[in-house]
Amino acid sequence: MNLLSLAALAGATALILFGIAVLKPLDRPLPGLWRLPAVVSAAFLVYSLWTVASEGPLGFWDNHVQNLWGLQVWLDLLIAVGIGFALLAREARALGMTPAPWLVLTLCTGCIGLCAFAARVLYLRERQARMHPV
């Protein structure tokens, strides 16, 4: 198994563990949970910059239009990012955020921007819970 396969499996494993953690019912936000999407956003930004420097800024496009699987992955990513943004935008507005700049960031960077948006929403939710305990 090569390094790229191991990285792909590590990412899938992390998603499964995150999904299991999210299933736990909570009556208040987990303290510091916002740090996880913030770190993911920053780490993925660094990896993406390295990829762009190595392979060019439009290398992703060739991957997504070369065959049906590539197109399926592209559409899957668009759907997932759209759902994530829609779910975050409502809560962001309730917390006093303006989602439009986050939409631009997300459209330009994909999950890098979406993870940063999630981190900010989670941070504001945690701060609100501290200021107004139930």
Q: What would the pLDDT profile of 58-94 be if each residue is shown by its tens digit?
A: 989 999 999 999 999 999 999 999 999 999 999 999 9
> Considering the domain boundaries, does residue 123 fall inside one?
yes
> Considering the domain boundaries, does residue 12 fall inside one?
no
> Considering the domain boundaries, does residue 14 fall inside one?
no
Segments forming the whole domain that contains residue 81:
34-131
CA–CA distance, 9 with 26 (Å, rounded to integer): 29
> Considering the domain boundaries, does residue 42 fall inside one?
yes
> Considering the domain boundaries, does residue 40 fall inside one?
yes
> Considering the domain boundaries, does residue 48 fall inside one?
yes
> Considering the domain boundaries, does residue 24 fall inside one?
no
> Considering the domain boundaries, does residue 121 fall inside one?
yes
- Looking at the structure of the chain, the number of domains it has is 1
Q: Is 36 exposed, middle or buried (0-12, 13-18, 19+ CB in 10 A)?
A: middle
Which pTM does this prediction carry? Answer: 0.87
Tally of CB atoms within 10 A around 84: 16
